[in-house]
Amino acid sequence: MQEDDYKNVIIESLQFLVKNKQVRVSAFVVMSNHIHLVWQAETGFYLKEVQTSFKKFTSSRFLKLTTADKKEDYKVHAADRSHHFWKRNSVGTELFTLKVFEQKINYIHYNPVRAGLCTNPEDYKYSSAYFYQTGIDVFGLFE
């Protein structure tokens, strides 16, 4: 398996949540060891529940991939689990103003540039920067 297989799991999960009108995604970037999302729960859903569903789905898929890869990177010795993929308390920030919203989106989009993965944010495949630059929704996450 390749690193992109893990990133595709994240994209698939986001696609499911958007298609089923559980969340609205405003921006994202999927890096090799973390993700950044600007998203909000749709009416009738609580973000905490959606986040739990997202983490549960992706973790089960990651476990299948790591088992196939014979990777032990995420193995833990805990009473409630054998593997651990996500931080227990993900950092979340409410975006109350347009200025803060734009600042966070710029931070997200420039993450791969700062990591030396690309020169321009829109050149990084697993990011919403291409959508913001071109209006083309490659992953079907924006309606």
pLDDT exceeds 90 at position 44: yes
Cα dihedral: 100, 7, 127, 48 (round 10): -30
Percent with pLDDT over 90 in the chain: 46
Considering the entire predicted model, what is its pTM? 0.80
pLDDT exceeds 60 at position 30: yes
Cα angle 72, 73, 74 (rounded to 5 degrees) comes to: 95
Determine the Cα–Cα distance for residues 78 and 93; give it in Å rounded to an integer.
Answer: 29
Residue ranges per structural domain of the chain? 3-134
User: Which residues are within 8 A (CB) of 27 and not within 5 positions of it... i.e. 6 or more apart?
Assistant: 36, 37, 38, 104, 105, 108, 109, 128, 132
The pLDDT confidence band at residue 75, using thresholds 50, 70 and 90, is very low
pLDDT tens column, 94-136:
778 999 899 999 999 999 999 999 999 999 999 999 999 999 9
Nearest to 130 by CA among 121, 139, 142: 121
Residue tagged 């009108």 (tokens): 21
**Residue 91: what pLDDT?**
52
Domain 3-134 is classified in which CATH homologous superfamily? Transposase IS200-like (3.30.70.1290)
In the DSSP assignment, the letter for residue 131 is H
